[in-house]
Chain A
């Protein structure tokens, strides 16, 4: 599937923000066999005094911006064309959940793709007994790791209500879980906590959803802003699978991935440090439009 992605993030500050500096995770990833970034451009307005493009530990594309003069409003835009290839996995090569620990021991690596990064608590995700207990309640004897990921994602979808008002970007997963309300970030953090709690390494994926569904399908929740879902490790042979708990589905060609990390902190679209004491207001606008191939010239 070929998409044109556009994103606009704006921040407005009642009091001009001094020494603004930000680290942005906006550029879609290129991953062989899964997704290809054909072209992409990130811009900032006002024009930044400094800009540095690089990759972070997990291999995500990062852009650093800095502005020297006080900034009243800030706009970051992304335009990209992405080819999405991945299809949901149907084959289950994963071991039973209890067998995962042994397989983990055989992975002697700290590479960015190593599951060891995603096993324990991380800055935004604490493992708390309530969520672990919920996850355990979704299991049955002999359940494979992959089945467990899907079962837990599905159960969360059934349990939780999508609600943009109930939480904000700083809500703790355990609090959103107690409320049983939240947005994709909360769904994802909660599912990560559930999976890690029962020993399944789980990562945070951020990205985009296609804006309008294919004919005859419902519009996906979370398409009007950046989206988040879960990437889980289900064994040496099972590898990584991705599940979107907000939409109760395995991730396929409707999802475009921008970054993987341990939780939101690692992949926040723009993590900024601004010295300001006034109010600030932010907006996000996303468009993900399938590209209809032009007719081949004769």
Chain B
């Protein structure tokens, strides 16, 4: 069925779509202006939407959702007990703004960004704002985000702020205002990009015809800013020219980790955690497999207080001790400066108009939410008198007005637990700890519900980046859409998110991130942090371990299907081995396997920036399949087949990794882990199933577990004997399942690791592998009793130890 309905015939449909849309009284709407006419910029989109039948709309939404799922975009919620993931709540209807209106917003935000920079410079510099009476000292002094260790520390780049976000909203009168400034470590730009990808896949034609401003150049220019800082640092001799800017992330535990990995990949930045860094003689170094490497630009996504346990929050486990000292010595660029979070303080909003006048001689082009700080008698009296009409909350909080409801009074009533004595005495007692803020009414924007457009309250997050030519505003944004009424609190319910289209009258140039002119350059390979190498190594091991578990389970169920007797000696031996590994075959997917898959996923999650989206998806698919297959096992065929399914999935992942992953050092650590685990598994199996006294049929089980049934048949043309299986599974360097093959693989990888030889001398890791290789090469099967495989496993532990000491620590 064609979706390409001509636009002409859709005019009537569009008209009826709009007629059925009923914005609320008393608030502005994004689609329909106060005069009842459609706002500029919407017509192409609305016409197209109107031309679609409900099922076509659903199909288009599904296209966007599919993109998000494939890209691995999920919404993580942190509840009291567990971490839950649900589908990304995209409202597929974009918020559309005309470029003229956008220009006005941009101008206002650029002025604000400049102002914030000047305030930061003042609060961490001469503090004239306080001395001149434009800002009460108490607000600064009692903010947990005003970091005393950073006072007097000049940023290396000369700027405190480089990347900002603003939460903006539209008043009932149609004008825009700022609800909050995000200066600490603003998130959302990466999600805005993903929303854009998904929405433009849902509506490619409307997107193309609407002349929507592209986002890529914004990111490109900001990357250039980071690269520029890196260049300047290189000029100063702080870090070598081929070092890369890095994103400093709090790690997997944060709900925006996905975005960090996404932006790191998109912009080609390193992704580092505090643990990856150490400070030497005032310089920030990355612990890599190639030793300590300097880094000079950190785009931090963790809150400043956690950045350095030595001088900031001593309880932080995700920081780098000495980081503040390095900043004090001017050896690293921090984006944004530690301490920039003080600018998010709610109470500061009350003084912005005055500060704007004082510092720039001009009023705020874009007002912010009206705010009264209760630390001043007149303002406190105003809040007391108007408590019914205001939103009253923590003055020192950096939360946006609509979050952090525990300590909030609205309409004269407490939202959370009520402190003693009611709102009035609260305001009187708490005074400077509180602010009153205008109980704003948000505008509404259409979302699609029950096959029609309905208005929902929204705010837009807009991003600003410092570039060579000054502040640049991302032409688009991250819209959040609430439920219920149009008070700011609607946003708390966690509704949906949407793309923001800035629509131009004239066509806009195509734009991609890569559209950079210049000579062909092969970039230096990025350094591999030791932590990432460690995770890749363990990922390799866990995936292989899963595979081994699955093969064991399949083998047991096949035997049960064949023989049916669990007490048959060779079946019992298999069962015993399963039990020794803690595997309970009474469940289809035993806990051990679930844990192994989860461990693999967790390792992969920590190095997600180094993976293709496909490989990641394959691993998730394995986890999901395992979860869906779980249940009580009926010993036999069915379960064996289920294990077969899992085996296909896991080899699918391995295939994607090994076929598609660039042979950089990360891949080598992953492969090393896989080879080590495979060698160890095989040694373990040989010590059990090729012992001197084993039940008949044990060798066949072994050959099957080693996936070498066909090879055995072809190579020996006799039934399995102890000699043939030991030869094939341990000593035959051409069998990809043999121990020798794995040891060769490890040697090959180890040869490519940094400093594998020092002045021609092979280092301990290589030496140990060479010894093992020799043993396996020169000794005959008869010289390999079962016990020797146990000794071999011990040698493999030594190998892992050498690897860890040399590269992973």
Contact = CB atoms under 8 A, between A and B. Distances in A.
Contact of A109 (B131, B280, B309, B310): B131
B379 interface: no
Contacts of B311: 23
Contacts of A107: 137
B309 A57 contact: no
B792 to A, nearest CB: 30
Nearest to B315: A123
Given A52-B325, A273-B321, A110 B141 contact: yes
Contacts of B281: 50
A53 interface: no
B398 to A, nearest CB: 16
Interface string A27-56: 000000000000000000000001010101
Interface string B156-175: 00000000000000000000
B318 to A, nearest CB: 12
Contact of A116 (B141, B321, B433): B141
A57 B310 contact: no
Interface residues of B, number: 29
A54 B329 CA distance: 11
B131 A108 contact: yes
Highest count of chain A CB atoms <10 Å: which of B127, B142, B148, B280? B148
A108 B141 contact: no
Contact of A123 (B127, B130, B141, B313): B313
A23 B131 contact: no
A8 interface: no
B319 to A, nearest CB: 9
Interface in B282-316: 282, 309-311, 313-314
Highest count of chain B CB atoms <10 Å: which of A57, A104, A108, A266? A108
B186 interface: no
Given A21-B321, A21-B322, A273 B133 contact: no
B314 A265 contact: yes
Nearest to B396: A120
A98 interface: no
A117 B325 CA distance: 22
Nearest to A66: B322
Contacts of A64: 322, 325
Given A57-B151, A108-B133, A117 B141 contact: yes
Interface string B323-363: 00100100000000000000000000000000000000000
B142 A108 contact: no
Interface residues of A, number: 31
A123 B309 CA distance: 13
B140 interface: yes
A219 interface: no
B137 A23 contact: no
A68 B291 CA distance: 14
Nearest to B138: A116
A227 interface: no
B278 A116 contact: no
Contact of A57 (B131, B149, B433): B149
Interface string B119-134: 0000000010011110
Highest count of chain B CB atoms <10 Å: which of A22, A56, A64, A272? A64
Interface in A72-124: 104-105, 107-110, 114, 116-117, 119-121, 123
Contacts of B433: 120
Given A21-B310, A56-B149, A109-B137, A119 B130 contact: no
A19 B148 contact: no
A135 to B, nearest CB: 15
B770 to A, nearest CB: 30
Nearest to A111: B127
Contacts of A121: 142
A114 B137 contact: yes
A11 interface: no
A272 B321 CA distance: 9
B277 to A, nearest CB: 11
A110 B141 CA distance: 7
Contacts of A109: 127, 130-131, 137
Contacts of A19: 278, 321
Given A57-B151, A271-B310, A108 B322 contact: no
Given A64-B325, A66-B322, A110 B314 contact: no
Contacts of B314: 123, 265, 271
Nearest to B420: A129
16 contacts: A19-B278, A21-B279, A21-B310, A23-B310, A50-B281, A56-B149, A64-B325, A66-B322, A109-B131, A110-B141, A116-B138, A116-B140, A119-B142, A121-B142, A123-B313, A266-B148
Interface of B: 127, 130-133, 136-138, 140-142, 148-149, 151, 278-282, 309-311, 313-314, 321-322, 325, 328, 433
Shortest beta-carbon contacts, A-B, top 10: A57-B148, A116-B141, A273-B321, A120-B142, A116-B137, A110-B127, A21-B321, A117-B141, A273-B310, A110-B137
Given A21-B310, A116-B140, 5 more contacts: A22-B310, A23-B310, A117-B148, A271-B310, A272-B310
Interface of A: 19, 21-23, 50, 52, 54, 56-58, 64, 66, 68, 104-105, 107-110, 114, 116-117, 119-121, 123, 265-266, 271-273
